[in-house]
Structure 1
Amino acid sequence: MMRWNHRIKMFTAIFSLAAVLTACGGGANEAATKDSAQDAGTLATATHSADTSTTETSSADTNEADAADTSSNSAATGSSSDEGKIGLDSTLQELQQKYADNLGYIRIPIKDHPVRRVSEEGSKNINIANYSDAVVNMNTGIPIHSDSQRLIDDAFPFFTTVQAPEVSYVSWEEATNLERAMVKTLFISRQALLLTEDAMKNKDYTSQTFTDSMDFFKTAAEFDSMAPVAQHTYDITLTKLYDKARDVWGKLAAIDPVQDEAAFAEMYKSARTEANNTMGLLNILLSTNEEERLEQTYGK
């Protein structure tokens, strides 16, 4: 597998902001897009934040050579009492035997508590990792976003055939957990950005849709919101881009547009850019000729 260590560049050569952040024809029709915008408002009921002060956690160091086991969206922790633990204790071998699919990806359903404290034979390290295909609250294992089949039916075509219909893509079953989670999360973020733009144009920051959009960005940016652990080399780069995007989303949500409209507008531009960069990479990684397309964009 080719390793991709090139510096992250802007994806405007692949998709313009207008192409990704405005309604498109093709596989995702306008009605479905508007209906899916309601997913940005489901965050209040889908997310249940909890206090993590009883457990000492920190971001795990990412090593591309160990991409199948760890990533920057897992947390490393030392030994602690059962009280306040995050995740269920498991060994990597147990998870591979029980939950690995025919591609070797560990996929734990939401109902089976996807956040695990994973130990490996011969190592004292314990990694807290999310093995679902959704961004979840690490304390509860509950997705921070809608996880409906309807969302998948709208979002997956949007990030594949709608953007580049001439390209061949993997199936939903073949996508990594992180790619699936990004399909859901980025589709909702796109709706939230469009709703935010409407609020800016109308100078109306009191609507429920604007409030829901800011709530989504705040939730996505929280430390407790954990994306799936990387199980493929390219997942690591996708994680880095997503982390950059959600950091800016959090900064956007922290600005009161009524008090400082100029600062809000400037941060909104950054939020669009980072979201677009992540969406562009996601489209490439979901294609069957991902290595060829990456080389065309970045060189060998």
Structure 2
Amino acid sequence: MKRILLLLLAICLLGACSTEKDKEKETAQAGTENAQSSPLQDKPEEEIKKEQAEPDETTESDDIGKFSIPTVQVPSPYNEEGNMAKEHTMEEYMELIEKQGGIVRFEMDDYPVRAIDNDKVRNITNLGDAYIDISENAAYQIPKSEIPVVYEWFLSVQPEDLKGTPASEYRTWEEATNLERGIMQMVYLTAPSLNNLGYIIENDEYDHPALQIIQQDFFQLGSPSVLIPAPQTATDMTMFDLMLKMKYQWEQVGKFENPAENRAEFEKLYKELRSETNNLFVRINYVLTQTY
């Protein structure tokens, strides 16, 4: 029975299955209604290098480094011949899932992006715990020293019906799925860009150099080359669908032309993206209190 369940999850993963549990969907929707208005503004200050304060004036050469979303370099998923460095059949992948207790996780230096062949279909799959841009060989990953800060940040923003739930009733970072980890890291890394974008809109500074950099970053995040960590559990399937929608929102904000001339529409896109980002705090709280 366990193998059948794992096989169904694997097929859903590799075939872009959108099936999800009705109960989980209702729980997430209820949690969204109880979300705090703007948890991004409550981001911890001491441990974070990029603050949410208004963008400062910088020289042109400093702009990219100051306002861009940070990434870390990872090995190319391709070998010298241009083929995938690591390949698996569906049978081999299923064996990995069973051997590793349901979660297959490869470190960033161990080729987490792998090809999995299912019959005549080849799927390029991210089996790491961070979003990976295979066009730039870059991962949206935070330093290990900041992981406790990020994890506690998410648990501190509890929906009303989870208020006061002790940390002992949540799965730990080590027990979190690849996708859950990836989402928490991505929210943490994009928060400064969202806050800076909000400042630009609120203060009508559409000529600020940060705007173009922020849009470029969000456009890249929405591109097909940025791979979301693959879903491997039932709750992951719902979260994966949500992150696909968020990729679309990132792309829409990134490719929006002439924001200064279409301010109302651009501000609407920004608020929708910020709202969905805030809602992730609630959703992560719910899924981390569930077992897989």
User: Does the pair score TM above 0.5?
Assistant: yes
Distance 2:30 2:213 in 1: 28
* Cα distance in 1 between the residues matched to 2:209 and 2:73: 17
Change (3 A) 1:258 1:136: same
SS at match of 1:35: coil
1:21 aligns with 2:40: yes
The CA deviation at 1:205 is 3.3
Deviates more, 1:7-16 or 1:194-203: 7-16
Pair 1:135 & 2:134 matched? no
Aligned equivalent of 1:4: 21
CA distance in 1 between partners of 2:101 and 2:211 (Å): 40
The alpha-carbon distance between structure 1 residues 242 and 147, as it changes in their structure 2 partners (threshold 3 A), is same
**Offset of 1:227 from its aligned partner?**
0.6
Aligned-residue CA RMSD in angstroms? 3.4
State percent identity of aligned pairs: 23
8 Å contact kept, 1:99–1:106: yes
Does 1:35 find its partner at 2:36? no
> Does 2:162 match 1:166?
no
The aligned counterpart of 2:9 is none
Aligned equivalents of 2:73, 2:215: Cα separation in 1: 14
Partner deviation per Cα, 1:228-257 (whole Å, 9 max, x = no partner)? 111101111001111112211211122232
Corresponding residue SS for 1:30: coil
RCO higher in 1 or 2 (8 Å CA, sep ≥ 6)?
2
TM superposition shift of 1:116:
0.8
**Offset at 1:263?**
1.2
Structure 1, unaligned runs of 5 or more? 51-81, 292-300
Work out the CA distance in 1 between the residues paired with 2:275 and 2:186.
Answer: 16
User: For 1:119-158, what per-residue CA distance to the aligned partner results, in whole angstroms no more than 9, with x for missing partners?
Assistant: 25xx333222110001001346531x24312442321111
Deviations 1:9-29 (A, max 9, x none): 3744231222x23225xxxx3
Q: In the alignment, is the contact (CA less than 8 A) between 1:10 and 1:277 conserved in 2? A: no
- Matched residues in 1 for 2:30 and 2:189: separation? 21
- Give per-residue Cα distances to partners, 1:97-133, cap 9 Å, x unaligned: 678775331111111111111125xx33322211000
For residues 71 and 156 of structure 2, what CA distance do their matches in structure 1 show? 31
Partners of 2:113 and 2:214 in 1: how far apart? Answer: 26
Question: Per-residue deviation at 1:45?
Answer: 6.0
- Give the secondary-structure state (helix, strand or coil) at the position aligned to 1:173: coil
| Residues 179-205 of structure 1: CA deviation (Å, up to 9, x unaligned) | 010010022233322221111122223
Shift, 1:261, TM fit: 1.2
Change (3 A) 1:243 1:283: same
Matches within 5 A, 1:106-125: 106-119=104-117, 123-125=119-121
How far is the alpha carbon of 1:44 from its aligned partner?
Answer: 6.8
Q: What letter matches 1:133 in structure 2? A: D
Distance 1:45 1:33, change over 3 A: closer
Q: Which moved more, 1:90-99 or 1:181-190?
A: 90-99
User: What amino acid is aligned across from residue 226 of structure 1 in structure 2?
Assistant: L
Query: Across the two proteins, how many residue pairs are aligned to each other?
Result: 249
